[in-house]
């Protein structure tokens, strides 16, 4: 078997968690990531018959039976992933309609997957229905997006339009907009189900007064989605108290649609 620490998916996971911590998005043990892996890729590094332990998941997701995931651990600090990936990350295979997870690698200190694991898996199920290429669910706490949820209406159309107006690239990067949930208790199946429902229509879901969920086909795309929305939120906070003399108009955003071959969410532009 090859050394799993050299696997491209592991190298990219370590780079991404380190970068997210450096951005200030994942203070302490805040934030979590799950990466759906292909069995053939895992087979180069792990014996799938060697199960370290089996962990109840607390939810049902028959659509994910047999799927492999690389997942951050509960209570783990992103800043430590690069130094001890085998402690802070785990590779799991779901079974029994998603109600059990076989641990194949990681969590060597006896730890478990993130407490947001049900929310992640429910979001994976939702995104696969929309785009079978989606492989990533990423949750973090970008300060500017979080701050905006305190001072801006949580109406999804208005929230999206505000972000679109802050940076020319926003409507190009997330033309489907941003969905928003009001504050809910984290780590529960209830917020997981609510997030998954929102994931059917957008790859970004803001949790009011908490953070954001992003989904995409790879870690770069998902990180970039959140990074772009966070930049827009930062600009909004810098100018929200000032009279706005200029803005990106709906007419200009329609020009961006034509230029980049994208379509903004139905009903969000005049």
Residues labelled as active-site residues: 116
Query: How far, CA to CA in Å, does 18 sit from each of 21, 51, 113, 210, 223?
Result: 5, 28, 18, 21, 12
Q: Could you tell me if 73 and 90 are in contact, meaning their C-beta atoms sit under 8 angstroms apart?
A: yes
Q: How far apart are CA 102 and CA 92, in angstroms?
A: 5
The residues facing 95 across adjacent strands are 100
Q: How far apart are CA 188 and CA 6, in angstroms?
A: 34
Helix (H) or strand (E) holding 214: strand 211-216
Alpha helices (H) in the chain, listed in sequence order: 8-22, 39-42, 85-88, 117-130, 143-151, 156-166, 170-173, 189-199, 219-239, 250-260
Q: How far apart are CA 19 and CA 30, in angstroms?
A: 14
Query: How far, CA to CA in Å, does 130 sit from each of 125, 126, 127, 189, 230?
Result: 9, 7, 5, 21, 24
């Amino acid at each position: 078997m090859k050394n799993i620490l050299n696997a491209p998916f592991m190298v990219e996971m370590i780079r991404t968690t380190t970068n997210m911590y450096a951005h200030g998005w994942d203070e302490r043990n805040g934030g979590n990531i799950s990466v759906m892996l292909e069995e053939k890729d895992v087979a180069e590094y792990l014996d799938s018959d060697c199960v370290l332990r089996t962990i109840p998941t607390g939810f049902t997701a028959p659509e994910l039976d047999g799927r492999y995931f690389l997942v951050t651990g509960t209570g783990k600090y992103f800043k430590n992933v690069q130094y001890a990936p085998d402690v802070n990350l785990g590779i799991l295979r779901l079974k029994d309609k998603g109600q059990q997870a076989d641990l194949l690698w990681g969590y060597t200190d006896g730890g478990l997957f993130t407490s947001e694991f049900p929310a992640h898996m429910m979001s994976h199920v939702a995104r696969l229905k929309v785009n079978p290429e989606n492989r990533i669910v990423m949750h973090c706490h970008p300060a500017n997006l979080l701050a905006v949820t305190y001072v801006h209406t949580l109406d999804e159309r208005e929230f999206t339009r505000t972000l679109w107006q802050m940076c020319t690239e926003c409507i190009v990067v997330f033309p489907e907009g941003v969905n928003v949930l009001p504050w809910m208790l984290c780590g529960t199946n209830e917020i997981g189900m609510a997030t998954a429902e929102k994931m059917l229509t957008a790859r970004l879901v803001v949790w009011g007064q908490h953070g954001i969920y992003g989904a995409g086909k790879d870690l770069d795309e998902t990180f970039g989605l959140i990074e772009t929305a966070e930049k827009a939120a930062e600009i909004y906070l810098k100018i929200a108290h000032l009279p706005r003399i200029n803005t990106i108009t709906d007419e200009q955003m329609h020009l961006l649609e034509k230029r980049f071959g994208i379509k903004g969410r139905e009903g969000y532009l005049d």
